[in-house]
Amino acid sequence: MSALDKIRLAKQASGALAQANTLQKNAALEAIAVALEANTAAIIEANNLDIEAGVASGLSVGLQDRLTLNEQRISALAQAVRSIATLPDPIGNVAKGMTLPNGLKLTQVAVPFGVVGAIYEARPNVTIDIAALALKAGNASVLRGGSAAENTNLLLVKILQQAIGSVGLPSDSVQTVDDFGRAGAVEMMQARGLVDVLIPRGSASLIKAVVEESKVPVIETGDGVVHIFIDESARLDWSVEIVHNSKVQRPSVCNALETLLIHEAAFDRITKAIFDKLSASGVTIHGDERVCAAWPDAIAATEADWSAEYYSLDLAVRVVADLDEALSHIAKYSTHHTESIITEEVANAERFLAEVDSAVVMVNAATRFTDGGEFGFGAEVGISTQKLHARGPMGLAELTSTKWLVRGSGQTRV
């Protein structure tokens, strides 16, 4: 069976999924959650093969963390699937309705895309997240999870197919083209008319390649050069905890802090406590001249550091004169993912919210909250940094389109 054959099977299955009711879809989601829990040992065994291969090939520590599925993470995936089942079904939701002067009744309703494709790297949790969200929104899914997670993803797709089929929905609703390597990804990108939308998740180079090569409509996700600005009025306790949580809680993900900007008037008051806590957690500071002078363990930052997504316990730190300079720095180096300000000045907070052009902009909160699960979506397909259709964490609503239903009583156009 070719990659194109698998994509065609998903397209055929999408018709049945579009007609499935909420109870059927929720039953499939519960079956997936149960199957994940029942197959935990087998999933970990397959995942260990991928991790061993990754270590042998020099996979970075950050990507190894993304690749890893342990008992706790598998349990969390099962819980996320159950959370998706509890969410309102978006299909059939009425966006607009009206009656024209001629008596025609118009209703705009939410409908599935059909087939959702995803291309991603070293993130086996995405296999479950996307398949589950796509299913609840009435979509089939075609997945290319990359060679780094090949063993894990093949088993997860088999589990998904069996669980979905066990409740009477088509097991072909989830397909993987990992068997075909990059050629499978190319087939997905060229499958206009079969794949309705394509979502890339991963490195900037992967996303760029998909956007530039695809003939299928793409929802563009982005890498995360994420900023926090500590304003002059920032509370010390909030600054220490928010910065530490944003950088350290899970440094290998796209919503982790990468660049810290500190108002020069707050620097002497606030920096030592922040750096002490970061240092105790193993964070390496890449700083400008003032940072290096105050913190002897810091490494002198280069131009490349300001645009770096480290995926590691490294942090770029720069001192800025004021909010204007912070905004200018963010405008230049941001990937438009997530930025946060720590301040007690309402005017500065509101200006930051208004002027920063990113998918998620925060005040006095850790950047790690940019997440579909944290936003109440159950899980996420990805975090969109584009401005069309979807922006920010993407959940069920972002996996739907609309159609117009027109009900008449014999009207003809004059």
Residues of the chain with pLDDT under 70: none
CATH number for the domain that contains residue 50: 3.40.605.10
Provide CB contacts within 8 A for 254, sequence distance 6+.
222, 223, 224, 226, 309, 337, 383
Do residues 255 and 289 touch, judged by C-beta distance below 8 A? no
| pLDDT score of 284 | 97
- One domain, residues 241 and 206: no
Number of domains in the chain: 2
The verdict on residue 412 lying in a domain is no
Does a structural domain hold residue 334?
Answer: yes
Note whether residue 30 is domain-resident: yes
- Are 296 and 397 part of one and the same domain? no
**Same domain for 231 and 208:** no
What is the distance between the alpha carbons of residues 156 and 124, in angstroms, rounded to a whole number? 8
End-to-end CA distance of the chain: 53
| 201, 251: one domain | no
Provide the total of helices (H) and of strands (E) in the chain, helices listed first: 14, 16
Return the pLDDT at 79: 95
**Do 115 and 18 belong to one domain?**
yes
Write b or e for each residue in 151-187: b if 16 or more Cβ atoms lie within 10 A of its Cβ, otherwise e. Answer: bbbbbbbbbbbebbeebebbbbbbbbbbebeeebbbb
Q: Clarify whether residues 210 and 230 are in a common domain.
A: no
Tokens 């006095």 sit at which residue? 364
Residue 279 forms part of a structural domain: yes
Q: Is residue 313 part of a domain?
A: yes
Boundaries of domain holding 16: 3-216+386-407
| Strand 392-394, strand 382-384: pairing | antiparallel
CATH of the domain at 267: 3.40.309.10
The C-alpha atoms of residue 41 and residue 155 are separated, in whole angstroms, by 12
**Is 113 inside a domain boundary?**
yes
Q: What separation in angstroms does the CA of 125 have from each of 246, 266, 337?
A: 21, 40, 20
233 with 195, same domain: the answer is no
Query: Are both 147 and 267 inside the same structural domain?
Result: no
The pLDDT of residue 22 is 97
- Decide if 379 is inside a domain: no
Strand partners, 363: 341
Identify whether residues 185 and 318 lie together within a single domain.
no
- What digits encode the pLDDT tens for the residues 24-72? 999 999 999 999 999 999 999 999 999 999 999 998 888 898 899 999 9
Distance between CA 176 and CA 184 in Å, rounded? 9
For residue 69, being part of any structural domain is answered with yes
For residues 137 and 399, what is the distance between their CA atoms, to the nearest angstrom?
Answer: 6
124 and 76 both lie in a single domain: yes
Q: Say yes or no: 41 and 181 in one domain.
A: yes
Q: What pLDDT does residue 377 have? A: 83
Same domain, 59 and 123: yes
DSSP symbol at 389: S
